[in-house]
Amino acid sequence: MGTIRAEDLAADGRVDDIVIVNRNAARAEELAARVGATALPWPTDPTDPAQWPQADGYAVTTATDTHAALIGALARHGRPLLIEKPLAMSVEETDALVDLAGDAGMQIGFQRRFDAGIREVKSRIESGDIGVLYTMTFTAHDIAPGSAEFIAGSGGTFRDMLVHDLDLACWLSDSKIATVYATGTVRNHPDYAAANDFDVVAVHLTMANGVPIIISGTRHDPVGHDIRLEAFGSRDSVTAGLNHRTPIHLTDGDLPVAAHPYAGFMDRFRAAFTAETSAFVDFVLGERPNPCPPEASRAALAAAIACEISAREGRPVAMSEIG
């Protein structure tokens, strides 16, 4: 993610200077040379604001367990922060980091909000083109299961993978989630069972405005990386992510799908990441409000936790039960 942000910032003509700081000095130097940036050594005390360079904005692309120390230091400079999801692994930690950041402003890295097709679905819902929104269905299928090490530290399928879909549910429907009902199982990959996690999940959301949303999630898709959604309304039905690269084989019809299937989330969303980074530059320049505030991260994380409870206990969970 650090490489992606550096590449996109370097390609943005509004950005004059980029400074790269990495615990691996050689990697920082290599990336800096490639994108025309400057590399600086990792601070001896990352929690000390004085040891970080002065900048107009900061992109934090390190692991989740480092966020607290870095946000605490960088927010003291009073400039906007771009933080990769998840902000933290618990609601309590998330609230603490939001308080720590204060008025600096944190944009959370939910890149699907910047996918062109998904944004068009959002536009058609907001404009009323699809009429009354009846329901939505989401597909979230990873191309390949993670390593045992990744699975153990990922936070689980709901928090790591479906958190994007849970965020989109709120963003697209312009509503909070009222109730969650989720199921999870291990169908094929025992490493998930060893981590007390799932490789196949399904979620039924009831939004506060009454819209029902269905999410299908798997950690393995033999055809490719499949992320798509459909919105159904009283005037029209629209979809995003269904095109010649969608990794699915038809048993009828002649749609030209799976011609060159998506090979992973970066292949699927590379343009969305660029748009997201550009939006962060807009935010830094004061040309737009924060397009993805930390409250969105908190809401999606709380919904993921509700999904976990629902799947373990076999019951619907009201979001009012989550802190």
pLDDT digits (tens, 9 = 90+) for 288-298: 999 999 999 99
Asked if the structure places residue 213 within a domain, the reply is yes
Asked if the structure places residue 279 within a domain, the reply is no
Q: Which of 78, 111, 144 is the last residue of a domain?
A: 111
Let me know whether 218 and 233 are in one domain. yes
CA–CA dist 140, 265 (Å, integer): 10
CA–CA dist 71, 242 (Å, integer): 38
Q: What is the mean pLDDT of residues 202-212?
A: 98
Q: What is the CATH number of the domain that holds 25?
A: 3.40.50.720
Let me know whether 84 and 147 are in one domain. no
Let me know whether 145 and 56 are in one domain. no
If one counts every other C-beta atom within 10 angstroms of the C-beta of residue 126, the result is 11
Residue 203: predicted pLDDT = 98
Let me know whether 308 and 220 are in one domain. yes
Sequential DSSP letters for 262-322: --SHHHHHHHHHHHHHHHHHHHHTTSS--SS-HHHHHHHHHHHHHHHHHHHHTS-EEGGG-
What's the whole-number average pLDDT of the chain?
95
Which residues constitute the domain of residue 52? 2-111
CA–CA dist 321, 301 (Å, integer): 14
Three-class SS state of 104: coil
**Spatial CA neighbour of 185 closest among 224, 157, 146, 148:** 157
pLDDT digits (tens, 9 = 90+) for 62-85: 988 889 999 999 999 999 999 998
User: Do the beta carbons of residue 181 and residue 314 sit within 8 Å?
Assistant: no
- Residue 183's pLDDT band, with cuts at 50, 70 and 90, is very high
CA distances from 197 to 141, 190, 251 (A): 16, 9, 32
Residue 101: predicted pLDDT = 86
CA–CA dist 139, 162 (Å, integer): 10
User: Do the beta carbons of residue 81 and residue 104 sit within 8 Å?
Assistant: yes
Residue 22: predicted pLDDT = 95
pLDDT digits (tens, 9 = 90+) for 101-128: 888 899 999 999 999 999 999 999 999 9
Q: What is the CATH number of the domain that holds 218?
A: 3.30.360.10
Let me know whether 123 and 102 are in one domain. no
pTM value > 0.75: yes
User: Do the beta carbons of residue 297 and residue 87 sit within 8 Å?
Assistant: yes
Let me know whether 137 and 171 are in one domain. yes
Three-class SS state of 226: strand
Q: Which of 111, 128, 147 is the last residue of a domain?
A: 111
Residue 256 has pLDDT above 80, yes or no: yes
Q: What is the mean pLDDT of residues 275-288?
A: 97
